[in-house]
Structure 1
Amino acid sequence: MPLRLAKASVAAAVLAVALAGCTSSTSLVTKRTQGYEIPDSALQQIRPGQSQQLVQTVLGSPQSTNTFGDQSAWYYIETKVNQTSFGLTMVQERTVLAVYFDRNKKVTERAVYSLQDGRAINVETRRTPSFGQDKTFIESILESF
């Protein structure tokens, strides 16, 4: 009987350690920021008439740029996500700071866009049919012999 009790105690201890590892102090959902963190103090410093160089000094290099004729824009994107321990990522908040410049590289306007300002765009999944058949790499090599 004592041997059976010892085996049961060891099994209970192993099970307790295994369950303690599963329920550690780390949570199943991690909150993190992807991209650039846009501080409020930096937003207040960007005003019309300032130079492109000053904007880069305050905010750093933009994540994306765009040019429309005489006007250009720099974009700083901040995305706050919740990521589960299983790899599922859920976007909670997105902020896009757009700084617009004129041809003299001076700020003309700045705009802050949120997740609600965005639109979902459906990507076309149809394929254009081609003549013949799609061949794998190995089929192409074997066909050449």
Structure 2
Amino acid sequence: MPLRLAKASVAAAVLAVALAGCTSSTSLVTKRTQGYEIPDSALQQIRPGQSQQLVTLVLGSPQSTNTFGDQSAWYYVETKVQQTSFGMTMVQERTVLAVYFDRNKKVVDKAVYGLTDGKVVTIESRRTPSFGEDRTFIESIMSSF
């Protein structure tokens, strides 16, 4: 009888270990953040008159920059997505923090944009017409001989 009880205990332990591997991590949809996470505390620290160095200390390096005339802007993008286990990604929320600087590299203003502020840009698929023949690389080389 004690041998039978020991076998049952071992079988129960093996079954418990096997079932422990079956957790809810096999979810079909995962949520994650792409890019920079913009904390509210960091956003509140950015005020007009501050230097670019202080903005870098608070927010880190920008993901994108823009310079137009005497003004420049730094952009921090946060995108919250859901991704299926089949590889399909769906954007749930996007936040863009834009920090604007004057020519003295001091903060002039900041703005927070969301998905509703964006505009869809259609990509033109037409080719620009060219005069003459369209030749491949090899045709161009062969015609030079």
Query: In the TM superposition, what are the counterparts of 1:1-145 in structure 2 within 5 Å?
Result: 25-130=25-130, 131-135=132-136, 143=142
Deviation at 1:129, TM superposition (A): 3.7
CA RMSD of aligned residues (A): 2.3
Partner of 1:11: none
Task: Give the whole-Å Cα distance in 1 for the aligned partners of 2:71 and 2:45.
Answer: 21
Task: Give the whole-Å Cα distance in 2 for the aligned partners of 1:46 and 1:24.
Answer: 40
Normalising by structure 1, report the TM-score.
0.75
Deviation at 1:25, TM superposition (A): 3.7
Task: Give the whole-Å Cα distance in 2 for the aligned partners of 1:45 and 1:25.
Answer: 37
Percent pairwise identity: 78
Instruction: Give aligned pairs, total.
Output: 122
Letter in 1 for 2:66: N
Give the ranges of 4+ consecutive aligned residues of structure 1 lying more than 4 Å apart after TM superposition. 139-145
What does the per-residue CA deviation read over 1:91-117, in whole Å, with 9 as the maximum and x for residues that have no partner? 100000000011111101000000000
Task: Give the whole-Å Cα distance in 2 for the aligned partners of 1:72 and 1:133.
Answer: 41
Normalising by structure 2, report the TM-score.
0.75
Compared CA separation, residues 104 and 30, structure 1 to 2 (3 A): same
Deviation at 1:133, TM superposition (A): 4.2
Task: Give the whole-Å Cα distance in 2 for the aligned partners of 1:48 and 1:24.
Answer: 47
